[in-house]
Structures are given as C-alpha cells and as structure tokens.
Chain A
Amino acid sequence: MSVITLVASTIAVAYIADRGPWSTSVALAPVQPIEFSHKHHVKDDGIDCRYCHTSVETSGFAGIPPTETCMTCHSQIWTTASVTKPIRDSWQSGKSIEWVRVHDLPDFVYFNHSIHVNKGIGCSSCHGQVNEMPMMWKVNTLNMNWCLSCHRDPAKFIRPKSEVFNINYKYPANQAELGPKLVKEYHVQSLTDCITCHR
C-alpha cells in the first residue's frame, strides 16, 4: 500500500469516526435510570412538552422535571409497577434521579431554549419526533455546522408560533413564502456572530 493510500484511508476513517455516531452519539439511546418513554407519554397520553419541561419558554434551560412532577400521576397510577420504582424511591429518599444527558453541548456553548421557542422554532426541529421515541436519542449532531444551517437561513426552519409545540408539525409546501414572512414578522435575525453562542 502506498503512503498516499495509507494517508487517504486514515483520513477517511478519521472523518467517518468524527461524523459518525461513535463521536456524535446521534441515534444512540443511552441507558437511563428509568425506562422513560417519550413515545408513551407524548403520543399515547398526549402530554404537552411544557408539562415537564416547564422553563423552556422562559429560561435558557428547558428544565428537567423534579420527581414531584412524575409523582403527580404516579402517586395515583402504576404505583406498584417496578418500572416506576426509582421515582417512588427518589420521592421517599429525597435523592434526585440522575438522568443521562442526551443533548449535551460543549461547555463553551451557551444555547438558550427560550429565545428559540419564542421566535417560532419548534421542539421537533431539533429534537425530532420524540413522540416516536421509546427511549430518548439524538436525531441531530448538534455540531456547529448543523446550528449554522439554520442560523444562516432561519426562513427554512421557522414555523408559526402556534405550532412550536406541535410535535407532528410538517413544513407546508409554501415554506419558501411563509418562512421569510414569519422571519420578518417575528423579527428573527440571522445571528452568526461568535458571541451569539460563545462567551
């Protein structure tokens, strides 16, 4: 094998490793302390995102529900099921449930949920169809080039504010017209300055 082939194949392997799930964790569902199913809670039960992720409209952090939120239902239903035992244990012991973060940005990235959902970017645009996920996984890399694909041209991804929490939202055929209109109406800027996310 020539040196060139070696170098080329090394680069190819490195590139694949870098962009593949080993590195990006896309489509990998980590083991969680509770087999919590978004599919069941969102699709079957029809619970709104904000029932649990309470601060998504006000804070940078969408919010992970305290045990108390789980107990609003699970003190009444599935009270003896083994799958909900960690909730009851947490409630009784006062010890938090330790979830494994699925959407994890590097520490030098400051993402803010509230400004996105307030400007017509829907949950599913980034998180995908969570109502179809029995366990949570990432559908997007969250790499910077992925962020920039929207930050450079938000008109492609914007939706009416009323549809932000619609997890089944499909972009209409006239997105090319609607997008720019919404961008203007919501005063959405194409923010590509470094300080938008890095501080």
Chain B
Amino acid sequence: MRRSQHEPHHHYHPHDHDHPHHHDHDHQHPHAGGTASGLVTIGAIAEDTEKRKKAVDIQALREKLAAGRGPAFWRTLDEAAETEELREYIEQEFPGLSGEIPKGVDRRALLKVMAASLAMAGAAACTKQPKELIVPYVRQPENIIPGIPLFYATAMPVHGYARGLLVESHMNRPTKVEGNPDHPASLGSTTLFEQASVLNLYDPDRSETVLREGRLSTWSEFTGAFSTESQSLGIRKGEGLAILSGLTTSPTLISQIESLRAQWPTAKWYVHEPCVNPAKASAARKIAGRNAFVSYDLSKADVIVSLESDFMVDGPAALPYARQFSARRRAIDSGKDPCRFYAIESIPTPSGSLADHRFALESSKIPAVAYQLANACGVASANAPGDAPSWVNVVAQDLQAAKGRCVVIPGEFQPESVHLAAYAINAALGNVGTTVRLLEGVEPDNTHTIEELATDLNAGRVEVLVILGSNPVYTAPASLNFQQAIRKARMVVRLGSHFDETSKWSHWHVPEAHYLETWSDSRAFDGTVTIQQPLVEPLYGGKSAHEIITILQAKPDLTSHDIVKSFWQTRLKGDFDATWQTSLHDGIVAGTGLNTLNAAATPTLPALGNLAAYEMEVVLRPDSTIGDGTYSNNGWLQELPKSQSKMTWENPVTISPGRAAKMSVSTGDVLRVTVNGKSVEGPAWILPGQAENTIGVTFGYGREGSGRVGNSIGYNAYLLQDANTRYAAGGTVAKTGKHVDVADVQETQTMAEREPVRATKLAEFKQHPDFPNLEEKPLAPDDNIYQRSEWPYEGYKWGMVIDLNVCIGCHTCTIACQAENNIAVVGKEQVAKRRFMHWIRVDRYYSGDLDQPEIYNQPVPCMHCEQAPCEVVCPVAATVHSGDGLNQMVYNRCVGTRYCSNNCPYKVRRFNFLLYSDWDTQSLHGVRNPDVTVRSRGVMEKCTYCVQRIQEAKIQTEKEGRRIRDGEVVTACAQACPTQAIVFGDLNDKNSQVKKFQSLPRNYSLLDDLNTRPRTTYLGFVRNVNEALGGQRGNKES
C-alpha cells in the first residue's frame, strides 16, 4: 500500500518535546494556513497558549558583554543573554513542536490508531511496482551515453562579467553548475548565484510566450511589427531609438550595437545595473584616462585595508581575490606570517567577518576616513576634513611599513572620491605595479545612464524603447519615477525572463532565453573571452539580446549561434574551426586577456565638499541572497539564510544594538524607514557590529512581477532610492508598534557551551600552535559508552576538514549542497518552525562586545562520527556505518522516529515533517540530480559526504583497477567554496590534502569531549592583531 499525502501519519514523540510550557516563536496556529499538516489529524488540537519569548534587554546585555560576563562565543542575542527561559526554548530542537502533538487524545485511542497503522504496515510490503516505460532515442546523439553526465564549459554573465562554468548535463538536461578551474574569474569556484542559477532555468513562472499588450502573440508577429518599426527608424537614422540593457561585456553584443549606432548615429544606448555602482568605473576612467579596471593581487599583500569592500563576494574578480586571500591566510601553517586585514565598514560583510581588525563606521563617514588615511599615507592632495579617529594613524603606519606590499580596496558602493583616494594611497605607497594593476576595461564606451533615459523619456525624445533584460520599472531609483516615464515612449519592446513589472508597461514582451539556453559571449575582468554555449534548446522559445538587435539590423532570421559564430569567424586566430572547438571546450578563448595599462599619474583628489552629516543614515545594498531582485523567484535563494542576520524569506531592516537599545527595539519589531519622505516598513534585525547610526535595508524584495515565490514578500528598498544618493542616504527610522515573527535559522540547533569555535591571536598561535586542543581532550576510550574495538578502515577513510580561518560565511556551500542533493525548499512558515532542510548550515558566532564583536563563521555538516550517537538509537538500523567510515542514512528504512536527530549533539539531521519535495510542478523535475534519491515525507536526511560522487569515482577507478586519487572525489560544498575552506578526501592517503590539514596542530574536533570521533574536523581561527591598537575597537581579547 502506498501512503497518500492525506493519510494520517503518526510520530512517536520523545517526551522532552512535550514540554509543559514551551515558547512558540511562531504565532501561526498549528492548523491555520493552507498547508494543512499531516501531523494533526487525530483528536483535538491543543489551544495555542504559547507565549512569544521575551525580548532581550539590549542595554543590559551590552553592559554585561562589555564587562566580559557573557559567554565566549554566541550566535544570537538570546544566547548571549543566557536567560533560563530562553535556554529552555533553544534547547528544543524544534520549538513549538509540542503545539502540534494532539492533546486530549487518551492513551487508549492512540493505541487503537497505532494498532490500525501497524496492521496496515504488514500489508505495506506488498508493493507492486507501478508500470514504468523506457523511452529510447530514435537517433541517439553522438557522445551521449545514458547514465553518464557530460560537462560543458560555458560562462554566466554576473553583472555583465563572465564567470566561467562547467555545467553538468544529464542527457541534455542541465542539473548542476560548477566553476571552471581554467577560467580566471572562477578558478573552479562559484558564488551562490551561479549555483542557484540552474533553478532559474526551470522556474515555473518563466515567461513562455511573446505577448503584445499582455495578449498572446507570436515571434513572427513580433518580428514583423518590429521590422516595420525598424524600417521607419532607418529613415530617421535611428532618431528616437533607445536601447536599455544591463551591464554587458559581450564582444558580440557590443559590436552589434556599435555597428547599429554607426549606422544610426542618433540612436542611444543606456546601461542600467541597479547594484553596480557606476562610481567604480568612472573612477577607473579618471585614473587611467580611459575605460579601465583596477584589479588587485592579494597574494602579494601583507596588509589589506578595505574601505567597506566586500571584495571576496562582490565584483567581477571576487573569486580570485578570495583564493589569494585564503592562501595568504593559510601561510601560518608553513611558518610564514599571514596578511593583516583591516575592514572599515558600516554593515558587517562576509569579507569583513575575517578581518583582523574590524572598525564599524557609518558608510557616509568613510569618504572622510579615506581622505584622512590618504593624508596619513602622504597623499598630498587629500584635504581631509575633520579629525581622524586614532586608529587611522595606526593603520596608516602599518601600511607604510609595508610599502609595495599592501593594498587599500575601496568599497563597491562608495562614491568616486573613495575609489580615487584608495588608488592615490596605493600609488603613494608604491603598490601600483605590485598589488594593484590597471587593466584595460571591457565595458562598452559611450553609454548613457538610467537617469539620462528618464530625462529623455520625459522630454519626449524616445519613441522606441528596446529593453534588453533590464527591469527598470522595479529597479530604477524611485526618484526617477520610471513607471511614469516609460509611458512616454510610443513603442516599448521588452526582452525579459518573466512577465514582470517592466513587461506590464511594455507594448511587446519577448521571453528571454536563460544563459544556459542561448549562444553568447562575455569577458572576465581581465578581458578573457568565454564563448557561452547553450546546454539546452530554449525551453519556451526564449530569445537573446543578439536576436532582438539583429532585427534592427534588418537581418531578422539570424540565430544567436549565427551571430556569435560569424562575429568570431574573422577574429579568432589560426584555423577557425579548430580554435572555435578548442575555445568552446576550454571555456576560454586563449590569448584574449587584456594588457596591463601603464600607471597614469596619480589623480588629484576632488575636494570632498560638504560631507553629508546624517544623524541617521540609511544604507541600501543588494540582498545577500536575492541580489538586486533578479533571483527573487528562486526558492533556494529565498530559503538561504542571509549572510549575517541568517534570516530567510524576507529582507530585514538591520539596526545597530546601540540604536536598538535607545529605541527599545527588539528583533521582529516592524520599523518604518523614511528617506526623502518615502517610507518602507520591515522587521528589525539587531545586528552586532553594525555602525551605531546606520540602518541597513536591502533590495530585491517587495516585488509584484516576480512569481509564486518572490511576490509580496519583504519591502521594496528601491522605493527609498534617490538617483543622487544611491547607496547611502540620510533618513529616519521609527517604530510602528507592529511585530512580526521572523524566520531565521540561528536560534536553535545549538551545541550549547562547548566552544564550537576556537580562536587565538597570531602571537599565541606561534607559542601554542595546538591552541584549539589545550583545554578539551577526548575522553579515554574506557570512559565512554561505546567501548567499541577499533575499526580498522583499511580501504578508504573519508574525511573532511573545514578551515575557520578562511570561511567567510557566504553560504555558497549550502546552496551547492542543495543543488547537488535535491534538497527541498520548505517555505517561510516551516523555516520559522526550524524545519529547514539544509544539510550544511553555516553558524555565525560573535565574540566580545555587542557593538564591535569579532565574527566567526562555521559551516556544520554531518560530522560522520566514527562513534556516532545517532546510530545507536535508531530502532530500525536506518542509520548505520559503512566500511569506509560514512555515517549512512538509508531513506527506505527510515520510519521517522527522529531519535537519531534527538541524539545528535551537532544537530545536523533534517527531518521531512511534511512532503517538502515538490512532486507536482513539472518544470522542477528537470533540475533534480538523478543520482540522488528525492526524499519523501517522514524520512530523516543529512549530509552524505556526497556519497553519489564517491560511488561514481569508486566504480570508475575499480574498472581501471586503481585507487581513487586525491582530488578525484570532491564534495559539492568543497568544490564550490570560494576560499577553499572545505577540503575533502581520503585520510588513508598520506599525501592527501585533507590528511595534511588534519595533521596540523590547529586541527580540532567539535565537541571532542563526547568522544564521537568526528571525521569532519575544523582548523582553529588565528587573528593577526596589531598590538599597537591595544584594546581599541574591534580588537577584543579572543
């Protein structure tokens, strides 16, 4: 008998969940809402008498932590406050669960129902397999062997710049994205957006057809109408034609539009990329006297100063920077000194969390500090206003002591003055040519801005507006009132993946092909070209920008393939066919990297003028998981915890602990943020380490044209954006008196006070390289309950090591794992019940005081304990050990007692409380990894060390009659990690990287006093503090 979705399903609840007075964080009544849970079908439901847990007294907590009376490491304010009531709450693995246990059911009634289900269970074995068809090809394509995936090299344009990828394809169905190790902007890693982009391909809400004024139309109707329009544009030499696109580096597209503009000189090209600060490019242009890109070589930098730069996450060269930084940081293990990293930032960033010294400073005060720093470093033209904080001179001294071996990186969202000042400092310190390089720019020249487009539209100068992908009605700064402006154009043609905010105001909507569906090309930050080859035919007949522009060039029948290939036909060197094939195969066109420009004269720094002295500044940033809103309909990214707040499914208003204390704000209080008379409302998140007078808001939410996932959640921060003060503006914040419950993932699943994170200073590390193991030692075998004889593990012995010293907490591992292992999305309500399914969570710990804490990131997957507490309590042997030391989880045996999860000290097991896997949405079937079981309701799951990859490698090498070599099996998390913080391999291989790392003295096991002997271990954190800063801000004792 098969279980239907509606059949009652019973769980045996361990008694400790039935706590007499627990505190439900989620105010949803258990049987409210559409997704009726299968758990509440018998008996009456207990009255929802749950109290919400009390708000933390921030002021008292600040004082307590400042006095050093708090815990050494804490993840949330509640944990730091250590109240008895809160402890009870967080110690429940799934708070609020007992609200779902039917009350008022007597023992007899329960036994009856149990007996009935047991009787049925006897018959359940008589399962007859449903009839299944095999549908072979008619003509089998060359190279395709069913069962063996192929990998194709391509690139994803991220804000226009290429990130080289290798994409896994199962019989032409792309399922997983990996970085291309040969690509300079990837080096084999990805960020979370590339990982999640494959889900966008299968987004069920993608636009599937051409629409004319919202009504069904066809591509041929569109090309007819647009060709006619194009002819009359031709007569007018393109007058009144406006093309709006996102940032692009595509040589083919740039050439197409350039040749169009050469033909029609009055046509204009506007570029709008909402979360790319134009100041970066404009500053580079001033420095080089031409289109340029300032790049850094962190491998040569002994001292790094970030002026609010999230350089390891944001920007076209983030991944190489992450690699270089982590390599320097790891030099401590070979006895060399690491770099020292100072971060000056308003809101903690992933990169900033690794800083040796972090100075929280309002974003709008950073230009002044940049000038002060420039002044202190001997930049003559830096006319610094005001007095510098004392630490500026200390940082300057450190920089000057490392002339030619240091670097100052300006913040992505800082104004041009900061970019110029950073370059001036680098020039003054002799870094240009060593750690700083000027590269030829690859962005198009002579483009116009969204502000100019709004002006031209309002002045009636635009007749035909062609929008290539961009979504300006949603993403343009509210001050431009784009929704009004767009109506001034006579004909608006929109190429877009969704029928969204902009398409609703367009005359024609054409579905846009996903980057995995179309031919195109793009360049990396250093100019290296990738020819983007599609993995699959457009699922819904989507078109590319090339195919829209070619209609204007009176060649409407050309496909993207024709256009891209003919562009390169005349440009590739040597034998075209051979070079074309090699370039496609490698994912890069050899020899297309651009030259380093000669260092120009140091630019004169402009006077800072009247610096905005905001009493309260509102900082506007892309959301850490949704970006500018492009990914808002992506369930993986919605459910991915935000890098600092660990909230999911909505954007918080982040507020500093100091300001929260003054305003008596607690987490979840709805705040109204007002800038220039425009307001948005969102739930407060108190963010330790945020500058006192900064309010953080993020873009990407509050959408109406996104889809079933992304619509109507969060607030729209673009409504606050002014074209003149794009990323930081003066504003006010007020309480609304409302309160909502936020879905964050950091409150429960605690490992209590067992020092999960171990950290020290460099000086101490030099004396005690084994610092993580000084206090806690594993128990002697005699003292633990297992008393098991040593298992030899003679074959493979899989293990993992995670280096806390280089983990930036970006969550790329989480999303890579989700994509690889078919992990379900559960939705906001279920996350609020702490039922998220991520196999690798990233804990974020604070240490020190509330305003300037040190920040640590700790990814926690299953530890694969050699003596696993979960295994001994499973009544049906659904979790058992394998011969190579994996803690196996056997879904088809699991009956859902959850004893294992209850007994897991690391809290890494995830239970399918409901049927989370989406069986019904057809398009989502495409994204699933066929090598991993799709789990059903009532089954426990957890990290498997990507056992499907191990098995595949084992089978392959067994056929070849050899052992698996180091690096042949890489888990999804380790493969994607930008800083290579996660390393996986065979501990029986003496030369494997994982073995070398686990042999380091700073290697330690989590909760090693329990003697679980985890296979996953950690490397302790070493902070390279500057003693000259003494007890100053951001330099607390660790």
Assess the B933–A63 pair: CB atoms within 8 A: no
Assess the A193–B134 pair: CB atoms within 8 A: no
List the A side residues contacting B147 at CB < 8 Å.
55, 59-61, 63
Assess the B136–A64 pair: CB atoms within 8 A: yes
Interface members, chain A 68-102 (any B CB < 8 Å): 68, 90-91, 94-101
Shortest beta-carbon contacts, A-B, top 3: A61-B147, A59-B147, A193-B882
Interface members, chain A 1-45 (any B CB < 8 Å): 11, 14, 17-18, 22-23, 25, 30
Assess the A198–B136 pair: CB atoms within 8 A: no
Assess the B955–A68 pair: CB atoms within 8 A: no
CB distance from A114 to the nearest CB of B (A): 7
CA distance A91 to B139 in the complex (A): 8
CA distance A25 to B139 in the complex (A): 31
Residue of A nearest to B954 (CB): A115
Given the interface pairs A67-B138, A187-B958, the reply to whether A59 lies near B148 with Cβ below 8 Å is yes
Which one, A104-112, A120-128, A170-178, is touching chain B?
A104-112
CA distance A54 to B147 in the complex (A): 12
Interface members, chain B 830-870 (any A CB < 8 Å): none
Assess the B125–A18 pair: CB atoms within 8 A: yes
Assess the B134–A114 pair: CB atoms within 8 A: no
Which one of B132, B136, B884, B959 lies within 8 Å of A66 (CB-CB)?
Answer: B136
Assess the B880–A194 pair: CB atoms within 8 A: yes
CA distance A96 to B880 in the complex (A): 43
CA distance A112 to B140 in the complex (A): 21
CB distance from B820 to the nearest CB of A (A): 11
Which one of A25, A91, A101, A187 lies within 8 Å of B133 (CB-CB)?
Answer: A101
CB distance from B929 to the nearest CB of A (A): 10
Given the interface pairs A14-B122, A199-B947, the reply to whether A63 lies near B146 with Cβ below 8 Å is yes
Assess the A23–B127 pair: CB atoms within 8 A: yes
Which one of A25, A54, A66, A104 lies within 8 Å of B138 (CB-CB)?
Answer: A66
Overall SS of chain A's interface:
loop
Assess the B138–A58 pair: CB atoms within 8 A: no
The interface bits of chain B over 126-137 (1 if a CB of A lies within 8 angstroms of the residue's CB, else 0) are 111101111111
Judge if A119 is at the interface, Cβ distance under 8 Å: yes
CA distance A95 to B950 in the complex (A): 37
List the B side residues contacting A107 at CB < 8 Å.
933-934
Q: Can you name 23 A-B pairs with beta carbons within 8 Å?
A: A14-B122, A14-B126, A54-B145, A58-B148, A60-B148, A60-B955, A63-B147, A64-B136, A66-B139, A66-B140, A67-B137, A96-B138, A100-B132, A101-B133, A106-B129, A108-B891, A110-B951, A112-B955, A194-B882, A194-B893, A198-B888, A199-B931, A199-B947
List the B side residues contacting A134 at CB < 8 Å.
none
Judge if A149 is at the interface, Cβ distance under 8 Å: no
CB distance from B794 to the nearest CB of A (A): 11
List the B side residues contacting A17 at CB < 8 Å.
126
CB distance from B669 to the nearest CB of A (A): 45
Assess the A108–B959 pair: CB atoms within 8 A: no
Judge if A168 is at the interface, Cβ distance under 8 Å: no
List the A side residues contacting B951 at CB < 8 Å.
110, 195-196, 199
Residue of A nearest to B892 (CB): A108
CA distance A199 to B137 in the complex (A): 27
Given the interface pairs A68-B140, A195-B947, A199-B932, the reply to whether A58 lies near B145 with Cβ below 8 Å is yes
Which one of B132, B140, B148, B948 lies within 8 Å of A199 (CB-CB)?
Answer: B948
List the A side residues contacting B875 at CB < 8 Å.
none
The interface bits of chain A over 106-147 (1 if a CB of B lies within 8 angstroms of the residue's CB, else 0) are 111010101100110000000000000000000000000000
Assess the A94–B138 pair: CB atoms within 8 A: yes
Assess the A193–B883 pair: CB atoms within 8 A: yes
Which one of A30, A90, A100, A115 lies within 8 Å of B959 (CB-CB)?
Answer: A115
List the A side residues contacting B148 at CB < 8 Å.
55, 58-60
Assess the B131–A195 pair: CB atoms within 8 A: no
CA distance A47 to B36 in the complex (A): 57
Residue of B nearest to A69 (CB): B140
CA distance A172 to B891 in the complex (A): 40
List the B side residues contacting A30 at CB < 8 Å.
131
CA distance A98 to B126 in the complex (A): 27
CA distance A115 to B145 in the complex (A): 15
List the A side residues contacting B884 at CB < 8 Å.
193
Assess the A110–B931 pair: CB atoms within 8 A: yes
Assess the B958–A119 pair: CB atoms within 8 A: yes
Assess the A195–B134 pair: CB atoms within 8 A: no
Assess the A98–B133 pair: CB atoms within 8 A: yes
Judge if B979 is at the interface, Cβ distance under 8 Å: no
Assess the B944–A64 pair: CB atoms within 8 A: no
Assess the B128–A22 pair: CB atoms within 8 A: yes
Residue of B nearest to A59 (CB): B147
Assess the B958–A106 pair: CB atoms within 8 A: no
Given the interface pairs A68-B140, A118-B959, the reply to whether A59 lies near B146 with Cβ below 8 Å is yes
CA distance A187 to B890 in the complex (A): 26
CB distance from A61 to the nearest CB of B (A): 3
Assess the A95–B138 pair: CB atoms within 8 A: yes
Interface size class of A (residues with CB under 8 A): 35 or more
Which one of A104, A194, A195, A198 lies within 8 Å of B129 (CB-CB)?
Answer: A104
Which one of B123, B131, B883, B892 lies within 8 Å of A198 (CB-CB)?
Answer: B892
Assess the A96–B137 pair: CB atoms within 8 A: yes
Which of B122, B147, B884, B888: most chain A Cβ within 10 A?
A: B147
List the B side residues contacting A198 at CB < 8 Å.
888, 890-892, 933
Assess the A195–B132 pair: CB atoms within 8 A: no
List the A side residues contacting B882 at CB < 8 Å.
193-195
Assess the A193–B138 pair: CB atoms within 8 A: no
List the B side residues contacting A195 at CB < 8 Å.
882, 886, 888, 944, 947, 950-951
List the B side residues contacting A189 at CB < 8 Å.
795
CB distance from A64 to the nearest CB of B (A): 4
CB distance from B861 to the nearest CB of A (A): 16
List the B side residues contacting A194 at CB < 8 Å.
880, 882, 888, 890, 893
Assess the B961–A193 pair: CB atoms within 8 A: no
List the A side residues contacting B888 at CB < 8 Å.
193-195, 198
The interface bits of chain B over 922-961 (1 if a CB of A lies within 8 angstroms of the residue's CB, else 0) are 0000000001111000000000100110110001001101
CB distance from A139 to the nearest CB of B (A): 16
Assess the B146–A61 pair: CB atoms within 8 A: yes
Given the interface pairs A58-B148, A66-B139, the reply to whether A106 lies near B125 with Cβ below 8 Å is no
List the A side residues contacting B795 at CB < 8 Å.
189
CA distance A194 to B136 in the complex (A): 30
User: Apart from A23-B126, A114-B955, what are 12 other A-B pairs with CB-CB below 8 Å?
Assistant: A23-B128, A55-B145, A55-B147, A63-B145, A95-B138, A96-B137, A99-B136, A104-B129, A108-B891, A112-B955, A194-B888, A194-B890
List the A side residues contacting B950 at CB < 8 Å.
195
Which one of B126, B140, B880, B961 lies within 8 Å of A187 (CB-CB)?
Answer: B961
Assess the B933–A108 pair: CB atoms within 8 A: yes
CA distance A198 to B889 in the complex (A): 9
List the A side residues contacting B933 at CB < 8 Å.
107-108, 198-199
CB distance from A72 to the nearest CB of B (A): 12
List the A side residues contacting B890 at CB < 8 Å.
194, 198
CB distance from A27 to the nearest CB of B (A): 15
The interface bits of chain B over 949-980 (1 if a CB of A lies within 8 angstroms of the residue's CB, else 0) are 01100010011010000000000000000000
Residue of A nearest to B821 (CB): A199
CA distance A30 to B128 in the complex (A): 14
List the B side residues contacting A11 at CB < 8 Å.
122
List the B side residues contacting A193 at CB < 8 Å.
882-884, 886, 888
CB distance from B553 to the nearest CB of A (A): 34
CA distance A101 to B132 in the complex (A): 6
CA distance A177 to B934 in the complex (A): 43
List the B side residues contacting A196 at CB < 8 Å.
951
Residue of B nearest to A63 (CB): B146
Which one of A25, A55, A98, A199 lies within 8 Å of B944 (CB-CB)?
Answer: A199
List the B side residues contacting A23 at CB < 8 Å.
126-128
CA distance A119 to B134 in the complex (A): 26
The interface bits of chain B over 274-314 (1 if a CB of A lies within 8 angstroms of the residue's CB, else 0) are 00000000000000000000000000000000000000000
Given the interface pairs A59-B145, A110-B931, A194-B882, the reply to whether A64 lies near B128 with Cβ below 8 Å is no
